[in-house]
Amino acid sequence: MSLDETTEKPHEALSRHLADGMQAVDKLIRERMVSDSAPRIADLTAHLIGAGGKRLRPLMTLAAADLCGYEGPYAVHLAATVEFIHTATLLHDDVVDESEQRRGRPTANLLWDNKSSILVGDYLFARSFQLMVETGRLRVLDILANASATISEGEVLQLTAAKDLRTNEEVYLKIVRGKTAALFSAATQVGGVIADAPEEHEQALFDYGDALGIAFQIVDDLLDYGGNSAATGKNVGDDFRERKLTLPVIKAVAAADEEERAFWKRTIEKGDQQDGDLEEALRLLAKHGAMEATRQDALAWADKAKTALMVLPDRPVRQMLINLADYVVERVR
Amino acid sequence: MSLDETTEKPHEALSRHLADGMQAVDKLIRERMVSDSAPRIADLTAHLIGAGGKRLRPLMTLAAADLCGYEGPYAVHLAATVEFIHTATLLHDDVVDESEQRRGRPTANLLWDNKSSILVGDYLFARSFQLMVETGRLRVLDILANASATISEGEVLQLTAAKDLRTNEEVYLKIVRGKTAALFSAATQVGGVIADAPEEHEQALFDYGDALGIAFQIVDDLLDYGGNSAATGKNVGDDFRERKLTLPVIKAVAAADEEERAFWKRTIEKGDQQDGDLEEALRLLAKHGAMEATRQDALAWADKAKTALMVLPDRPVRQMLINLADYVVERVR
């Protein structure tokens, strides 16, 4: 093996393996993201889609379809569909979160305005449904309409659960499914649907995407309290300062005595944070084994993702998807 | 005829004629507008849908289906669908326009926040596609995905065309289709689709909704410069003060000499308005016959709407739809 091959990341291996499909996805996205009547739409989408990103979700759809032996043209439509839905949610999220940076560049809401971001998000959402219609499969529309509803439910739930100490692990999972896992699981599932995969395979693909998305989010939560900023692009304690109820904190709050509860109430619910509070939070997370328990959860979800794939054919893509699940939790293993 | 019957408005007559269906639509909307996982969604949708409004768009769908002899259950799903899409666009519009009042009540973005309005709009949009999937008709999804794309394109176009004197009648029509006519025409067309109406009838229903929506918007533009505030709920000149390029102004700008162009440039493009400017604008509109030409356009669109219906069966609903087209332009006849 050459050095290049040994250092290739699993999503890079997938991209290379599915290069033809991904190129077709890119072409379709560029064709459909413009609008003849409203040039600003093209400006905004070019900014966002030109910024790149890993195109992980379309890759998941192509991989799932490939794994189920699909050779027709419509996996490309579905891959473009999930990227459009993803881009639409990013545009709306950046308005909701008042974000100023995305993928190292100024956000669309900053460069243009909130209005354009809202309306172009709506436009991409409509375009995504047009692409699905072209596949002629109602079941695909069913799955992605459900996923879209779950995404917005999760985001609304996140708004109301923010800074609320009553947020438990069940609510957390719903939020994470909305934020991340629902689109991953739909992306993999529709790959199976378009390939006419048997029910059992379709379910396995859904389970893989769901578990992968959840593992991904939990690792993100964990690194915020224990990673280094070079690896994550964030500073340790960002979530604490933003008063987010992430999984480590939820576990520590559940185990808290009265005094500790008062600490969380002051720092997270009331937002009255002082010097030394982050250190105290880290001490409480350690005391209750919240970091370790969260880490175990991430590993368990990654295992669940890998196990789900076992019913599927042993094609090269399967191993790449298994490697991807390992890669997601590698930084906390 | 009793006094009640003579004073009944056409949409009231339609509501009464289709009362059973409209009740079923109301029930379905109330069932589907909630979310088990995110209670705030129910709060927002109840506020907006509780505020009522005429439910004109679902009425159009039921009327079209009835006119084509449909007796199955799915016209109700499609009627709820168009109301959900309409409500989603209202939620997003109120954020885009920073509105504070809707149907005489505070807007959702004012009562809750912009974030909730954006996300609940997304939720309703996803829900609308779920309802369409239940009808099992891909063609319905095609039509309403296209309409949704046209709506957001029209709104983005309106953002960029605002205050721009180069806006011509062609651009104006695109904006109006996005704002109003695209959902009307889709609402009537899908009523025909669900009834398996012949191609010619489906097209006629589209044309009716399209022309009705355009007539409606032109009348609105006209009354802003010539109506009375009791009839419109707006004050004369609101559009002028907000520097909107509506049809009367577009016509006056097209006919303007150099001095007049300078006036429009100053008042609309630059927004430098002084006492007496509204009076001068009204004088220029009169001088070039822009009001009368706009009025003739509205009447022509209403006629087009009525003419389109002539190929459809002569059922009671047809006369009600004809009366509705007359009613829309009655205030400027």
pLDDT digits (tens, 9 = 90+) for A75-89: 999 999 999 999 999
**Chain A touched by B116 (CB under 8 Å):** yes
- Residue A229 confidence (pLDDT): 47
**Chain A touched by B119 (CB under 8 Å):** yes
State whether B119 and A130 contact (CB < 8 Å). Answer: no
Residue A283 has pLDDT above 50, yes or no: yes
- The band of B267, judged by pLDDT with boundaries at 50, 70 and 90, is very high
More confident residue, A268 or B40: A268
Picking from B144, B25, B130, the residue whose alpha carbon sits closest to that of residue B79 is B25
> Computed over its alpha carbons, how large is the radius of gyration of chain B?
20
Residue B127 has pLDDT above 70, yes or no: yes
Alpha-carbon gap, residue A244 to A238, rounded angstroms = 9
In chain A, residues with a C-beta closer than 8 Å to the C-beta of B186 are none
Helices (H), A233-276: 238-241, 247-254, 258-264
- Residue A227 confidence (pLDDT): 59
**Chain B touched by A95 (CB under 8 Å):** yes
- Residue A275 confidence (pLDDT): 94
Q: What is the dihedral of CA B172, B245, A88, B101, to 10 degrees?
A: -120
Output the six-digit token pair for B157: 């176009």
Quote ipTM for the complex: 0.90
- Residue B257 confidence (pLDDT): 97
- Residue B293 confidence (pLDDT): 96
**Chain B touched by A307 (CB under 8 Å):** no
Q: What is the mean pLDDT of residues B291-304?
A: 97
Domain spanning B3-330, CATH class: mainly alpha
Q: What is the mean pLDDT of residues A45-68?
A: 87
Residue entry with tokens 């979310």: B35
- Residue B3 confidence (pLDDT): 43
Q: What is the mean pLDDT of residues A213-219?
A: 96
**Chain B touched by A115 (CB under 8 Å):** yes
Q: What is the mean pLDDT of residues B33-58?
A: 81
Is the distance from CB of A107 to CB of A121 less than 8 angstroms?
no
- pTM of the shown model: 0.92
Q: What angle do CA B118, B124, B125 make, to 5 degrees?
A: 90
Angle, in degrees to the nearest 10, between helices A290-308 and A316-330:
180
Q: Which helix (H) or strand (E) holds B102?
A: strand B101-102
Q: What is the mean pLDDT of residues B156-172?
A: 90
In chain B, residues with a C-beta closer than 8 Å to the C-beta of A142 are 130, 133
Q: B residues 13-72 near A, CB within 8 Å?
A: 35, 37-41
Is the distance from CB of A311 to CB of A204 less than 8 angstroms?
yes
SS3 A214: helix
Output the six-digit token pair for A308: 């789900």
- Residue B6 confidence (pLDDT): 61
Q: Domain coordinates of chain A in residue numbers?
A: 3-330
Paired with A102 in beta bridges are A105
More confident residue, A55 or B197: B197
More confident residue, B308 or B33: B308
Output the six-digit token pair for B60: 């159009």
The amino acid that residue B42 corresponds to is A
Is the distance from CB of B117 to CB of B109 less than 8 angstroms?
yes
Residues 6+ apart with CB under 8 A from B29: B49, B80, B83, B84
- High-pLDDT (> 90) share of chain B, %: 73
- Residue B227 confidence (pLDDT): 59
The residue of chain B nearest to residue A115, with distances taken between CA atoms, is: B96
Q: What is the mean pLDDT of residues B134-144?
A: 97
